[in-house]
Structure 1
Amino acid sequence: MRLSVLDLVPVRTDQTSADALAASTQLAQTADRLGFQRYWVAEHHNMPAVAATSPPVLISHLASATERIRLGSGGVMLPNHAPLAVAEQFALLEAAHPGRIDLGIGRAPGSDPVTSMALRGAAGRDDTDVQNFPQYLDDVMALMGADGVRVAVPRQHYVLKATPRAGSVAALWLLGSSMYSAQLAAAKGLPYVFAHHFSGHGTQEALDHYRQAFRPSEHADRPQTFLTVNASVAETLQEAVARALPNLQNMARLRTGQSLTALDLVEDAEAAVLAPQQQAMVDSGAARPVIGDPAAAAAQVRELAEQFDVDEVMVHPVGSERRGADPRASLARDHTLELLAKELLG
């Protein structure tokens, strides 16, 4: 069993952005010390509850604060960026930290339409960027390589590279939460991760198709995948549920069209009164993550790994804190990693 970490850099009501980044730095160091395989950060924009806006900047910071764990994006939302910019950023990261960088790429915007338009700038990039996603993916892969790509211009072929002399290339993963991503990853022979932590539906179908339709490539000679899952682990089930409650409530608000707010502290979440539809989502959502005491949570992780036939599980620790906690730390999330590692990593 290999364990990895997904981090959205959550911002609690008692934290500034600087506090949240300090807490995530500590969490990455905990994962590094405990023997976790990789640590990925997400890309979300204009969300009060999420500070992970720029994966390459955050990866650079975390790579310098850790020693051996792989750092990566989970993921870079490619329609928001020029392929050359992404290729340059991750070629530079790979040069600075060779053999430790993963480039996970996704197709969703990771933001609202207004923010997406602001990200794409005055050049007029629009919904056709989603349609061109497969070509953009090819561009990023080629640009990071030692040979670059040849661009046809009048009377010459112009060679374009993301870095002058690539000694190694960041490992590329395709991310998704639909059959489209599974089909594309299989066709291009790419490692693939389904966002089970977010949707919880369609995982088996997507992974089955990916494995059956996979075509070997220079990137992977066989299907490579793992599972992502939300997790809250504590010494007791009651405390694990309490720590997970603020995240569950935020997801219910998001899915019923409400604006996200900073992540509540546990006591505030316990006192909150939700609309019936939202409360039903919280109640049903509590059955999907890994939540429990150490032995029960480890059993849930093993069961998920067996169910989806993976030998690596990426946990997204979602625990919030109680009032009076250190704002520059995230002890509940640290605790989740420590308890799972003790049970599963030895």
Structure 2
Amino acid sequence: MSEPLRLSVLDLVPVRVGQNSADAIAASLALAQSADRLGYTRYWFAEHHNMPSVASTTPPVLIALAAGRTERISLGSGGVMLPNHSPFVIAEQFAALEAAAPGRIDLGIGRAPGSDPVISALLRSSGHTSDVDTFPQHVHDVLALMDADGASLSLRGAASYTVKATPAASSVPEVWLLGSSDYSAQLAAATGLPYVFAHHFSGEGTLNALKLYRDGYQPSARHPEPRTLITVNTVVADSREEAEALALPQLQQMARLRTGAPMLMTPTVEQALATTMTPAQDEMVEIMRSKWIIDGPGAAAGRIGDLASRYGADEVMVVPGAGGREADAIDRFPARERTLDLLASQILTPTPTPA
């Protein structure tokens, strides 16, 4: 008998018109509490910088806040963009999180910059040499530094120097490699790490990347078998019509981003419905709409199950993309919470067996 499908959540901490950063973070923490209560497996925060509609700038801080408000769900980064940071700092941060919430911390590592070249330069202005060319080595560095035994470095004039991310680790975070390309799939396979394919980016290349990962997988001590997770943009409501309306603000935002238009705070549902987009943006909205899961509860659950079966995924991570209405509480995102509720009722809540 096959295991039940596991569901998780990826959160960019969206900021809609009328909210400030504090409101957006409060809304996401409430969503994390819902995911914890409903039985989702993990809740991850993305890393993005200098975007007017996204407040997920610092995954470790958001993970720490969520850890204090949840009980059982795994919390992590989806992901930390390693070229922006010193591997030692990331190892220290996540080792501390693991010490505070043992067995509940995931470190998802990505290679993309997460912003534009100016912000990337600011992130690296302290002078460290992280860049995409040294990404594989820095992944290995993080793994070694977080190990309970630490890492041994060879230094000029000394035989070795032991470095530990935390003085006395009793457990280590679960490390995942994130990507949307063949490169990331092959690196995850060679390193013996679980692999997350960012299917929500474009919905393209998923089959080939996962095949490369599985075919080339090199078993590791912690992960003797390959593990795969795919992400998908998802809006679920009581009816398909309502889901379509709720998806429109984020679809319009992504169309603006992909056509080079200025980025603004995410509009409300009412504002989105009243907005006229350019023909190119309308076309982009329709392309993305066909690749998102936007539906009523039963149909959405079926499509998620089909997606997992098609790609042989061990887990599906939904990116809840529902917008907010003008009457919503400023520090909550009720439609995002409703997406998680409806999916959990269909997938995570066992159906009673007839007597």
The reply to whether TM is greater than 0.5 is: yes
Q: Distance in 2 between matches of 1:271 and 1:2?
A: 37
Q: Distance in 2 between matches of 1:124 and 1:99?
A: 30
Check if 1:207 corresponds to 2:210. yes
Query: TM-score under structure 1 normalisation?
Result: 0.98
- In the other structure, the counterpart of 2:242 is 239
- In the other structure, the counterpart of 1:171 is 174
- In the other structure, the counterpart of 1:298 is 301
Is the 2:27–2:331 Cα contact (8 Å) retained in structure 1?
Answer: yes
Q: Distance in 1 between matches of 2:126 and 2:323?
A: 39
Check if 1:72 corresponds to 2:80. no
Of residues 129, 143, 153 in structure 2, which corresponds to 1:141? 143
Any residues of structure 2 matched to 1:238-317 within 5 Å, and which? 238-317=241-320
Amino acid at match of 2:192: G
Root-mean-square deviation (CA, aligned residues, Å) is: 1.0
Of residues 221, 224, 230 in structure 1, which corresponds to 2:224? 221
Stretch of structure 1 that moved more, 248-257 or 67-76: 248-257
Cα deviation per residue 1:270-329 (whole Å; 9 max; x = unaligned)?
Answer: 111111111001011111111111111111111101111123211110101111211100
Amino acid at match of 2:177: L
**Alignment coverage as a number of residue pairs:** 344
Amino acid at match of 2:146: M
Structure 1 residue 124, shift from structure 2 partner: 6.2
Structure 1 residue 53, shift from structure 2 partner: 0.3
Structure 2 unaligned blocks of 5 or more: 350-355
Is the 2:106–2:175 Cα contact (8 Å) retained in structure 1?
Answer: yes
Check if 1:99 corresponds to 2:103. yes
- In the other structure, the counterpart of 1:114 is 118
Is the 2:86–2:128 Cα contact (8 Å) retained in structure 1?
Answer: no
Cα deviation per residue 1:157-183 (whole Å; 9 max; x = unaligned)?
Answer: 111111111111000000001110001
SS at match of 1:242: helix
Amino acid at match of 1:248: L
Task: Please identify runs of 4+ aligned residues in structure 1 that moved more than 2 A.
Answer: none
SS at match of 1:173: strand
Q: Distance in 2 between matches of 1:145 and 1:44?
A: 28
Structure 1 residue 198, shift from structure 2 partner: 1.3
Q: Distance in 1 between matches of 2:329 and 2:344?
A: 23
Q: Percent identity?
A: 58
Of residues 24, 31, 51 in structure 1, which corresponds to 2:28? 24
Q: Distance in 2 between matches of 1:30 and 1:124?
A: 39
SS at match of 1:4: strand
- In the other structure, the counterpart of 1:40 is 44
Check if 1:129 corresponds to 2:131. yes
Of residues 135, 153, 156 in structure 2, which corresponds to 1:154? 156
Q: Distance in 2 between matches of 1:220 and 1:311?
A: 14
